[in-house]
Structure 1
Amino acid sequence: MAQRGIRAGNPVAAATRGGAPLPAGEPMEVGLVARLRASEAWLPALSLVAEIDGEIRGHVCLTRATVAGRPALALGPIGVPPEHKGHGIGAALMHAVLGAADALDEPLVALLGHLDYYPRFGFVPGSTLAVDPGVPDWVSHFQIRPLPAYTPDLAGGFRYAEPFYEE
């Protein structure tokens, strides 16, 4: 029987196999995670990996962000290698990281993501909670998941950690 689990871990390891870059080169997410890990926005307790039989099969991380200068969280990157998609790994990671954020009394999680996937985890358009991503091109895919600590006065401009704006 396969041993499965989700634990705190290094998501860079999920984007590489045995430390070697993937055949097509290093995914963009690897560089982003490296920059996030070096920033003040990095929250080690909210960086999770999914393991099956000792092999990392997916990752997710939340980093510090702000809404109108007040603390919030940003989701991403999240990743599951294509050969492991469709087995619930991404959903398990989402549930685990949202539960961890709730346990830390965080107010909300924001992301830019697929409109058909993330609503199943309670994400709604940012505009419904009066939170703006600050980049016009992001409005259509900007979503918020309010957590139990959320209050409606948490509104205004959302700001990701600086590494999200670097090229």
Structure 2
Amino acid sequence: MCKHSSYFYSLLAKHNIISLLVDRLFDKDTNPRVSVYAIMMISKHSDLFYEDLRVCIPQLAKLLVSAESTNLTKKNVAGCLNHLSAHSNKLCEDMISKGAIEALLKVVADYADVALDQCKIDYIIEFPLYKVVEALATMCQHLPCSNFIGSIDVLPVFGKLCESPNKDIAGLATLILKRAIKS
């Protein structure tokens, strides 16, 4: 419903659908991937629901580093965190204090070798690395996030990623380093 536009946002708000989606994210009997994808789509076009979605950040961080999460779930979580920081800095402090940025950085460290392996470069899309690096690049647009990332020793990992044969990952890693070092 919300993949291509914010047309249905008013109806989602009117019928309190956002809280139902948030509840599904915390429901142990449902697959979190579906809820994560829905939250990602409703945060894609504006920051209208950021306050309602703030409570999701710790659970998203947990899913990102969970051994039980599939690569697809991790990609969706990274996309969701990307959208939750794309339109404003309203959630930056939560991204920092609730562990989202640290979880993203852990995934980068876990998958960095994939980006450097020429044999796996054709399969890079199957791994969450690109979406995670993209989310971090988006977060680095906001000073609190870029300051936080700059305070962590990310140079070794992102320095390697700058050498990736995947030009998209290399470009985003370069951007992150520039923004994090600048801040």
TM-score normalised to the size of structure 2? 0.29
TM-score normalised to the size of structure 1? 0.31
Select the structure that is richer in helix.
2
Select the structure that is richer in strand.
1
